[in-house]
With several copies, the nearest count.
Chain A
C-alpha cells in the first residue's frame, strides 16, 4: 500500500498500522512504539504535551516516509505521531514497516525514527510531579545540519 505519514491528536492504533503494512511479500514486519516514560533523566514525569508546526511536521514526515520507502525498497511503511497531552505509557509515535527481509525492516525502522527525531518540527513539554513544565531541549543538536 502507499506509504502513510500522519500527525494526529487522536490516540494511535498500532494494530491499524500493522494491518496497513501487511503484504504477502513481507517476511518481516516491525512495529516501533515510542511511549511516555514515567522517569526521564531522573525526574518523575506525569505526562507530556506534544506541540508541532503541524503543516511542516506533516510534510517532513511524508518526505521521510517517502525517502525511506524508496531507499529500502518497500511501499509498506506507515508512521503516525501523536500531538496534544499524553499520559505516562501513552504512545507518542508508531512506525510500522514491512519488508521481504528482516535486515532491511530493522534498518528502515531505525532510519525513520532517527530522521523523525532529527528533523520533524515537533516539541515536547514534560510535566513533572511538582507541577512544573519544561520544554525538552535535546542537548548538543547541531542545528546547521538541517539547512540545505
Chain B
C-alpha cells in the first residue's frame, strides 16, 4: 500500500517536500515506516526515532499503519 506522510518545519526542509509517498507492505508498523523514510535523501538530518502521529495522535513505534491512516512526522515542537 501507499502511505502519504506529512512533513513539517525542519523535517520538510530536510527532505525537500511537504509530504512523501511511501510504499509499505501490509501490517507494517510505524517503525517500518520510519526505516523506509530514512532511506530517502536528506533523511540523515532527522533523528533516529522521530515522533510520528497517526490520525492526529502521537503513535507508538509498534503501531500498525493501516491503509487510509493520516500519518505525519512531528519535529520537536516549539509552540508558545
Interface residues of A (CB under 8 A from B): 34, 50-53, 55-57, 59-60, 81, 92-93, 113, 116-125, 135-138, 141, 143-144, 146-148
Contact = CB atoms under 8 A, between A and B. Distances in A.
B58 A135 contact: no
Mostly, the A contact residues are: mixed
5 contacts: A51-B9, A117-B77, A120-B77, A123-B78, A137-B78
Mostly, the B contact residues are: loop
A92 B78 CA distance: 12
Contacts, number: 90
A111 B58 CA distance: 20
B30 to A, nearest CB: 9
B10 interface: yes
A50 B75 CA distance: 13
